[in-house]
Chain A
Amino acid sequence: MTSRIDLEELRLRYEDTTAVDRVTCHLEGGKIYGLLGRNGSGKTSLLSMLAGFIRPTSGSVLVDGQPVFENPRAVSRICLIRDSGDVGDQSDTVRTVMEIAQVLRSTWDQEYAERLLEKFKIPMRKRVSQLSRGQRSALGITIGLASRTPLTIFDESHLGMDAPSRALFQEELLNDFMANPRTIIVSTHLIEEMSTLFEEVLILHEGRLLLHEDTDTLRSRGAAVTGPADQVDQFVFGMNVLAERRLGRIKSVTVYGELSDLHRRQAENLGLEMEPIALQDLFIHLTGAVEESR
């Protein structure tokens, strides 16, 4: 089961601050979406409205054609896991948190939850307050995955997790997505690390939707060119350079803008390697460029 999402002119204001500003987008569902944005760009606000945690100031949020806020049919099909771990009371044990989820979630998979806890090495008897930051994040991820909701959202849920745990999260997310297709949204600052998961990417900047595109299309918007420094400099002359890295005589330059076949042949003749652009470089460029243009 997957969920289609339609956001129309969505807006959220807190007193004199506009957290989300007239966001319109349509996600057909059944994919893993990446939601990127700098701190304070409105990601958590947007996701909170999508899950019915906050009522929008104006505009509409539809999941499978149904409004979300206070709609029992809609919200029971959504699970939002935020970085702060709303999964339970701090004095509860992990076992209690699991029991609560089992009672409240009709789609809950207890067996899978227990398997995940074992993999993340989280003891059932420990209190939430006794868990480390990374373990609390892993508990949130366990709840998100085991909820098996048609729309599952992870908002910086992997914060504080070490590299092996994050790798395990990605592996489990992908495996479970393949076995139980659903709509998944992952909001993250670890862009390169998570980008291999994303089929589509949305970039939010200062409350507005800056971009919504297929990941492959997005990557084709530029290239990383690597080779001897002189040849690289010759090749990228006049191009829009986003980033440069140098190791001895070897240089790697990220350029923005679609490259023609002529460019590609030229690079080949110069003995340069060309790879798709790193999503992180593109993100830095796009969000930085918006600020520069003001």
Chain B
Amino acid sequence: MRQLQQRWPIAVLLFFGHLPFLMLLWVALAALLTVITAVLALFVDISVSVWDHSAALLRWMALFYGTYLTRELLTTCVMHGRTRRAFTAQATLFVLVASGVLAVLMALGYALEHLIYNLMGWSHTFIDDRLFDSLNIPLIIYSWWGLYAVWTITGAFIGAALRRNDVSPVLAIVLGIVLLSVLGPITGMGDLPFTDRIYDPQTTSVGSAIGLSLLAFAVGAAFTWLLVRNIPIRPRIR
């Protein structure tokens, strides 16, 4: 463990400090959605997956967490004698792996929900845009993995732009929206409320979609690195 900490301190901080916290958020979300479903069931017939509809909220959380990484945590890491390069490499790895872990948890949520809906005799249907229309665990994991990874890295890009004085925040946000609009729908979960779908996931093979998601993530990471590589660490104004 000590060797790991010496070699990958930022990754250790993220995996052992942040990931458990993000997993706890999932537990809290699961509890909250269970309560919401139970309350809804008292008044209406349940016919759609409440878990699936929570995506709108979760992707914004991923985006916000991404901005936190480059706006706040980067400063702390540089202040503690770590380079921007080490931060970017280890944080990018973390985003990729943690997105996968959270995606597995999301799939677990779908499975538990499916079980409850079956017991209650409710129909378990998903939003039309999804790549999956039944409990297809691998496809659910892929969709959520892509969503978390792409939205978090886009948040990191916007956060880095906001931290710099020489990049217009408006331009950065517009670029972020373009990134999500173009690349997000590949997962079947990325269509923004204010942009039309420009990509039809139903006509593309899963293999291509995964490839495109990885490409989307790589583009987001490259954009972020362009901003982070020489970012000035100016005093935080409190």
Chain A residues with CB under 8 Å of chain B are 44, 48, 52-55, 70-72, 75-80, 82-90, 99-101, 103-106, 136, 147, 149
Residue interface mask B77-117, A partner, CB < 8 A = 1: 11111111110000000000000000000000000000000
Task: Provide the bound-state CA to CA distance between A90 and B10, in Å.
Answer: 19
Task: Provide the bound-state CA to CA distance between A54 and B230, in Å.
Answer: 8
- Of all chain B residues, which has the CB nearest A77? B81
Q: Does residue B235 face the partner (Cβ distance < 8 Å to A)?
A: yes
A residues less than 8 Å from B84 (CB atoms): 70
Chain B residues with CB under 8 Å of chain A are 5-6, 9-10, 12-13, 17, 72-73, 75-86, 229-230, 232-238
Task: Provide the bound-state CA to CA distance between A100 and B9, in Å.
Answer: 9
> Contacting B236 at CB < 8 Å: which of A76, A84, A101?
A84
Task: Provide the bound-state CA to CA distance between A75 and B83, in Å.
Answer: 7
Task: Provide the bound-state CA to CA distance between A166 and B6, in Å.
Answer: 34
Asked whether B238 lies within 8 Å of A52 as measured between CB atoms, the reply is no
A residues less than 8 Å from B229 (CB atoms): 70
> Contacting B235 at CB < 8 Å: which of A55, A70, A86, A105?
A86
Asked whether A44 lies within 8 Å of B235 as measured between CB atoms, the reply is yes
B residues less than 8 Å from A104 (CB atoms): 9-10, 13, 76-77, 80-82
A residues less than 8 Å from B6 (CB atoms): 106
Task: Provide the bound-state CA to CA distance between A106 and B10, in Å.
Answer: 12
B residues less than 8 Å from A106 (CB atoms): 6, 9
Task: Provide the bound-state CA to CA distance between A71 and B73, in Å.
Answer: 19
Asked whether B82 lies within 8 Å of A55 as measured between CB atoms, the reply is no
Task: Provide the bound-state CA to CA distance between A87 and B9, in Å.
Answer: 16
Known: A72-B86, A100-B17. A83 touches B80 (CB 8 A): no
* Nearest-Cβ distance from residue B113 to partner chain A, whole angstroms: 32
Task: Provide the bound-state CA to CA distance between A55 and B234, in Å.
Answer: 11
Asked whether A100 lies within 8 Å of B80 as measured between CB atoms, the reply is yes
Asked whether B79 lies within 8 Å of A87 as measured between CB atoms, the reply is yes
- Of all chain B residues, which has the CB nearest A78? B81
- Looking at chain B's contact residues, the main secondary structure is helix
Known: A87-B76, A89-B76. A75 touches B82 (CB 8 A): yes
Known: A55-B230, A88-B76, A103-B5. A82 touches B235 (CB 8 A): yes
Task: Provide the bound-state CA to CA distance between A89 and B67, in Å.
Answer: 13
A residues less than 8 Å from B234 (CB atoms): 48, 53-54
List 16 contacting pairs A-B, 8 Å CB cutoff, sorted by A.
A48-B233, A52-B78, A53-B234, A54-B234, A55-B230, A72-B82, A72-B86, A75-B83, A80-B79, A84-B235, A84-B237, A84-B238, A86-B76, A86-B235, A101-B80, A104-B9
- Of all chain A residues, which has the CB nearest B10? A104
Task: Provide the bound-state CA to CA distance between A87 and B79, in Å.
Answer: 7
Asked whether A90 lies within 8 Å of B81 as measured between CB atoms, the reply is no
Task: Provide the bound-state CA to CA distance between A70 and B84, in Å.
Answer: 7
B residues less than 8 Å from A79 (CB atoms): 79-81
* Nearest-Cβ distance from residue A100 to partner chain B, whole angstroms: 6
B residues less than 8 Å from A78 (CB atoms): 81
- Of all chain A residues, which has the CB nearest B229? A70
B residues less than 8 Å from A149 (CB atoms): 81
Task: Provide the bound-state CA to CA distance between A106 and B236, in Å.
Answer: 25
* Nearest-Cβ distance from residue B123 to partner chain A, whole angstroms: 42
Task: Provide the bound-state CA to CA distance between A79 and B78, in Å.
Answer: 9
